Amino acid sequence: MLIPNVPRNVLPTKGPAVAAKPVAPVPGRRPGPGRLVVLVSGSGTNLQAMLDSIAEAGAAAYGAEIVAVGADRDGIEGLARAERAGVPTFVCRVRDHATREEWDAALAEAVAGYEPDLVVSAGFMKIVGKRFLARFGGRFVNTHPALLPSFPGAHGVRDALAYGVRVTGCTVHFVDDGVDTGPIIAQGVVEVRDEDHEDDGAALHERIKEVERRLLVDVVGRLARNGYRIEGRKVVIQ
Ligand code: GRF
């Protein structure tokens, strides 16, 4: 099936047709709960924590609802979690596009079709490009499993462990055009145990994710309920 205004390789896997509509370039609240699009690449436990918290509190009390979940690959538990919760999903794969720039533009278009107030990268393992940031800069939130600015990149847990730190943690931040360099919103701390060196950081990552899930749920809710402004590197939640 072809869906109007959407490139063929960005078809929603479930839910309503996405129509490309312009989105406001600055954070702005409309009446009612904020609209969240969550991007995932893997197991989606951070997504699940958000789904559960919103279901428990109610979207109005939480301040936001998840209107779609997007991924850069098929067949992942993150998408299955969204489908079980009845949330529309879409997949936008790099390999279906001629260039990385085309993928970036297609991802931006797919996300924009859901008119989000905030976009949340919850274990989304791709760096977005200029087109995506032109549309969602200042309202694209990422969670990273290390205490930034230390240990950015795809192996934050392993790199922190290899460095020999005694505490590490997670960082929720806005995304800019660097790798994990955007303004920090909140951080959580986790102690490193001696035995963490024995499993290459697997248990440490699980302990970080316990903190990360609570932090992400809390931060996104506060951003959505209260509004915020970004002053240079400082994020002020109103
Ligand atoms: C999180 O630790 C996130 O910071 C990292 O990947 C993990 C995703 O976990 N980028 P999940 O898919 O939410 O379970």
* Nearest CA owner, ligand 1 atom 6: 123
* Nearest CA owner, ligand 1 atom 8: 123
How do beta strands 228-231 and 140-144 pair? unpaired
> Catalytic amino acids?
144
Q: Which ligand 1 atom sits closest to the C-alpha of 208?
A: 2
Q: Which ligand 1 atom sits closest to the C-alpha of 144?
A: 4
- Provide the residue-wise pLDDT of the chain in tens; the chain has 238 residues: 222 233 323 333 333 333 333 333 345 556 689 999 999 999 999 999 999 999 999 999 999 999 999 999 999 999 999 999 999 999 999 999 999 999 999 999 999 999 999 999 999 999 999 999 999 999 999 999 999 999 999 999 999 999 999 999 999 999 999 999 999 999 999 999 999 999 999 999 999 999 999 999 999 999 999 999 999 999 999 9
Closest CA to 119 of 137, 103, 131, 105: 137
What's the 44 CA to ligand 1 centre distance in angstroms? Answer: 7
Closest CA to 30 of 85, 67, 84: 67
DSSP code per residue over 65-123? EEEEEEESSSS-HHHHHHHHTT--EEE--GGGSSSHHHHHHHHHHHHHTT--SEEEESS
The CB of 137 under 6 Å from ligand 1? The reply is: no
Residue 164, Ramachandran bin (φ over 0: left; ψ between -120 and 50: alpha; else beta): left
- How far is Cα 92 from Cα 97, in angstroms, rounded to an integer? 9
